[in-house]
Amino acid sequence: MIGVLGGFVFASPGRAQSVDDEAHRIGQTLQCPVCEGQSVAESHSQLATQMRTVIREKLTAGENERQITQYFVDRYGESVLRMPPRSGFTAIAWIVPYLAVALAVFFLVRTVGWRKRTPPPVAPSDPALDTYLEEVDRSYDQVRDEALR
Amino acid sequence: MSGADLGAAALVAGLAMALSAMAAGIVGARNHNTRLLAAARNGAYVVAALLCLASLTLIVAFLTHDYSLRYVAERSSRSMPQYYVVAAFYSGQQGSLLYWATALGILSTLAIRTTYHRLHDLIGYAIAVLMSILAFFLLMLAFVSTPFERLPIPLSDGRGLNPLLYDSGMLFHPPMLLLGYASVAVPYAFAIAALIAGREDADWMRITRRFALFAWAFLGIGNLLGAWWAYHVLGWGGYWGWDPVENSAIMPWLALTAYIHSVMVQQRRGMLKVWNMGLIITTFCLAVQGTFIVRSGVISSVHSFAQSAIGPYFFAFLATVVIASVTALVYRLPVLRREQPFESVVSRESGFLLNNVLLVGIAFATYWGTIFPILSEAIRGVKATVGAPFYQQVNGPLLLGLLVLMGIGPLLPWRRASHEHLRRSFVTPLAIAGVGTLLLAILGLRAPAALLALAASIFAAATVGWEYYRGVRARMRSTGEAAPLAFVRLVSRARSRYGGYLVHLGVVLIAVGVICSSSFQLAREATLAPGGSMTIGRYTLANQGLEEGRMPGGRTVTARVLVTESNGASRVVTPAKVFYENFNDQPATHVAIETDDLEDLYLVLAGWADDGSISLAAFVNPMVSLIWLGGLVLLLGTGVTLWPERVAVPQPLAAPRRQLLGVEV
């Protein structure tokens, strides 16, 4: 186990990435154009393998991720990006979920009543009592079930 | 009359029976007519029996190689291994619809049997809802998409199953997941019945709780099995790709998780009645949608919707479900008043509410991501791609929030919490989490996102441990029992709570597995000449040769790879590709997975050349085994929760408890 945890030291992204790791990561952000939903990093198709080689070559030549990504977008169109761009029409893709959750939290807070007057403190519950009370509840339910049968 | 004709007749008879049982249920419930209700119940049993009969005839047709049936001919062949022949039963659209309906028929029988007397005012409506759902499926199976369609000329041999499916995953994942989808209908039916009958209390929820838990367990296991199968068969190094079919399978599970939590609030405090109704209706709609997406390929594009024959029917069914359910809900809105007010933000009620917001938020974000490409194509003609990175970035923070909440929630009391209570409950789990995180950081794990997520995981696990510890200690003090006995008695007396905690622990294990395997995955690709080698992590991989071989039904290409670890241990693994007859352009991948110290070495033979050199795709996936282990713990916890309790005869208070309560009896 310690060995595995120690292995994390090597894998931790805090260290310098090898070209392979970086290429794999970029490959994961690009969609293989001819496969059903697989990324360039994952697919075993010929095209994807070629694309992976191109990515590695470009990385070794010193290009950064944006240049490499733009290269593929120029050739295959926007749909080669696995994440919709954060600008333009596709910004909606990102805004809607965050907006929905923010709205939900807002309604949650309103429902629970954030600005309620502080009610008088309740005595701390004893776990033994909790379990016992649950037992009582359940016995009552069971007796009532029996009566209804 | 041949078996297939019998099966087809059974489907038609089942349809007629379902419709009449539905009518009897409605009329019997409205007029409180016991004889009609009994007739409805018996009718439901007959429908289930007829569905079983139809399924049986189809299975027999497969086993006897009856290639006069189109479905059997398309999905099996004489050279297939026998146990896959049975799996072929649910491998196609018609068969899986039949399986779905049969599963629901059996579950309905069980549900009706156990609740017929206890929920006598609801049972008629519940039967009606279940029968109407089955009637739809029987309609599809009898007339639109039937497994008993005959070929004009019987074939001598069938085409066989797609070789990708020749895996034990095929034997488990589809039946489990389809069972999960079908079983959501049961809590849904009772909820609608409660709406129609105008029930105000939550007693029916307590009695039907186990149906919801059952559905939840099988949806969860079905999804986990799917991930496991994808992991060791598809060969791309991962287990979840956020593709439309996967998303459609996880959404009902998320909604159902929210439901089983929020019903506790309704049972305890009479709140969230409208919300819970909406939630179970949504869950069922998602389950129906999931069933049809996985069986009809609807979602890949706007245009493929019309290609599947059942598409329009399914759409009509879903629309009917939505309209009818919402109508019932709106009609009963006056009955669903909140009984008690929210008292405090820091309470278990608001914890459950937040839990719901997060879970439904994740489900919504997933749904949105799945339909966005279609929207994009419809609105501006350009199809946007929404792949895994999107979901990871959007759902990631929400999932993290859920992990933290799993640590906080069980420690919160109902109604409101005093400072004293908070201090006593939270100090220990937080301290454990802090120490654990510090340890990880010291050991070299510095990636902030992963560290944060692991901290939350430790916190959630510490909460579970702390709750168990407190419970056992309190019991030991009040009854004088020894620790092991106290533990067993504690769990046995409060199965819902402590089984639930066990489920949480399972989820934490899964979370840790997912966090580690996605944050710290290593991936390398290389072409190795004969004798050449590559390194990944602490492993060195050497090409020791390429072999071609024959096996029943196809040929194999196997690479022998010598794996040497940094500590000197070595072994040979054999990733391979298999080419089955009839499927020569779709070879199946045999991934070589070696699990060691919870770390997976994952090798795929990506390509090869005549000179014996091989292209290897190698991955090191840390902690993936924790995901499967977590699934088992989850199942165990659900089992504990569902374990039926003996009806206890009320006992007089024992002396130590009288003292505890300060009561003189």
Maximal CA-CA distance, chain B: 91
In this structure, are strands B554-565 and B533-536 parallel, antiparallel, or unpaired?
unpaired
How sure is the predictor about B493, in pLDDT bands with cuts at 50, 70 and 90? confident
In a domain, A3, yes or no: no
The answer on A137 and A96 residing in a single domain is yes
Domain membership of residue A2 (yes or no) is no
Cα–Cα distance measured from residue B460 to residue B507, given in angstroms and rounded to the nearest whole number? 10
What does the pLDDT average to over B311-329? 93
Instruction: Decide which of A27, A61, A80 is a domain's last residue.
Output: A80
Contact between chains at B494 and A135 (C-beta distance less than 8 A): yes
User: What pLDDT is recorded for position A79?
Assistant: 82
Same domain, yes or no: A94 and A76: no
H or E stretch at B547: strand B539-551
Q: From the centroid of its chain, how far is CA B302? A: 27
In which order are the strands placed within the sheet that holds B599-608? Answer: B522-528, B614-622, B599-608, B592-596
Q: Which of B120, B350, B362, B385 to mutate to test the interface with A (most CBs of A within 10 A)?
A: B385
User: Measured between alpha carbons, how far is residue B584 from residues A49, B161, B205, B555, B612 in Å?
Assistant: 21, 13, 53, 10, 21
Tell me the average pLDDT across B626-641: 95
> Beta strands of B349-445 (E only): which ranges?
none
Looking at the fold, whether A24 and A70 belong to one and the same domain comes out as yes
Are residue A12 and residue A76 in the same domain, yes or no?
A: yes
- What pLDDT sits at residue B390? 92
CA angle B618, B622, B626 (to 5 degrees): 130
Q: Say which CATH number the domain at A64 has.
A: 1.10.8.640
Mean pLDDT over B162-179 rounds to 85
The C-alpha torsion from B530 through B536 and B540 to B541, rounded to 10°, is -30
Tens digit of pLDDT for each residue in B271-309? 889 999 999 999 999 999 999 887 665 444 333 433 467
Cβ under 8 Å to B: A residues 21-60:
21, 24, 28-29, 31, 36-39, 41-44, 49, 52
Point out the least confidently predicted range of A73-87, B253-267, B294-308. B294-308
Between positions 381 and 420 of B, the ones with CB within 8 A of A are 382-390, 393-394, 398, 413, 415-420
Cα(A95)–Cα(A104) distance, rounded to whole angstroms? 14
Per-residue model confidence (pLDDT) at position A123:
58
In chain B, the N- to C-terminal Cα span, in Å, equals 73
Are A7 and B537 within 8 A, CB to CB?
Answer: yes
pLDDT score for B433: 93
φ/ψ bin of B177: left (φ > 0), alpha (ψ from -120 to 50), beta (otherwise): alpha
Examine the pLDDT at B62 and tell me if it is beyond 80: yes
Residue B171, token pair as written in the block: 């034997």
Q: In this predicted structure, what is the pLDDT of residue B228?
A: 93
Nearest to B44 by CA among B29, B25, B27, B57: B25
Q: Tell me which H or E stretch contains B620.
A: strand B614-622
pLDDT class of A3 with cuts at 50, 70, 90: very low
What confidence score (pLDDT) does residue A147 get? 66
The answer to whether position A1 is within a domain reads no
Among A29, A80, A93, beta carbon nearest to B372: A93
Q: Which residues on chain B are in Cβ contact (under 8 Å) with A135?
A: 493-494
CA distance B29 to B25: 6
Contacting residues of A for B658, CB less than 8 Å apart: none
Taking residues B414-439, report their average pLDDT. Answer: 88
Residues A45 and A104 in one domain: no
Q: What backbone phi and psi angles, to 5 degrees, belong to B69? A: -95, 130
pLDDT value, residue A96: 93
pLDDT above 70 covers a percentage of chain B that reads: 94
**Are the beta carbons of A100 and B365 separated by less than 8 Å?**
yes
Residue A67 lies in a domain: yes
The closest CB to that of B344, out of A11, A116, A128, belongs to A116
The pTM (predicted TM-score) of the whole model is 0.89
Which band of pLDDT confidence, cut at 50, 70 and 90, is reported for residue B142?
very high
Q: Among candidates B599, B553, B597, B549, which has minimal Cα distance to B574? A: B549
Nearest CA to A51 among A70, A79, A30, A82? A30
- Using one digit for the tens of pLDDT, what is the confidence trace for B24-35? 999 999 999 999
pLDDT for residue A1 is more than 50: no
Which pLDDT value is given to residue A114?
A: 60
pLDDT at A28 over 90: no
Region B465-472: mean pLDDT is 92
Question: For position B665, what pLDDT does the model report?
Answer: 43
Distance from A53 to chain B by nearest Cα, in Å?
A: 10
How many folded domains does chain A comprise?
2
CA distance B280 to A103: 21
Whether B392 shows a pLDDT value over 70: the answer reads yes
pLDDT at B453: 94
Residues of B in contact with A104 (CB under 8 A): 357, 360-361
- Within a domain: A130: yes
Chain segment B502-549, per-residue pLDDT in tens: 999 999 999 999 999 988 888 888 889 998 899 998 899 999 989 999
Interface residue A14 vs chain B (CB under 8 A):
yes
Provide the token pair at B257. 């998780």
A133 — contact with chain B (CB < 8 Å)?
no
B206 to chain A, any CB pair closer than 8 A? The answer is: yes
Select from A55, A80, A105 the last residue of a domain. A80
In a domain, A36, yes or no: yes
Q: What is the pLDDT of residue B306?
A: 37
Picking from B106-120, B226-240, B312-326, B331-345, which range would have the lowest pLDDT averaged per residue?
A: B331-345
Would you state the pLDDT for residue B152?
87
Q: How confident is the model at residue B158 (pLDDT cuts 50, 70, 90)?
A: confident
**With contact defined as beta carbons under 8 Å apart, do B658 and B665 qualify?**
yes
Crossing angle (nearest 10°) for helices B483-493 and A127-148? 40
Task: pLDDT band for A4, please (50, 70, 90 cuts).
Answer: very low
Task: Give residue for tokens 């989490």.
Answer: B433
Token couple for B514? 């997912």
- The residue segments making up the domain with residue A141 are 88-115+124-148
Are A64 and A110 contained in the same domain?
no
Contact B91, B75 (CB under 8 A): yes
Cα–Cα distance between B201 and B217 in angstroms, integer?
A: 26
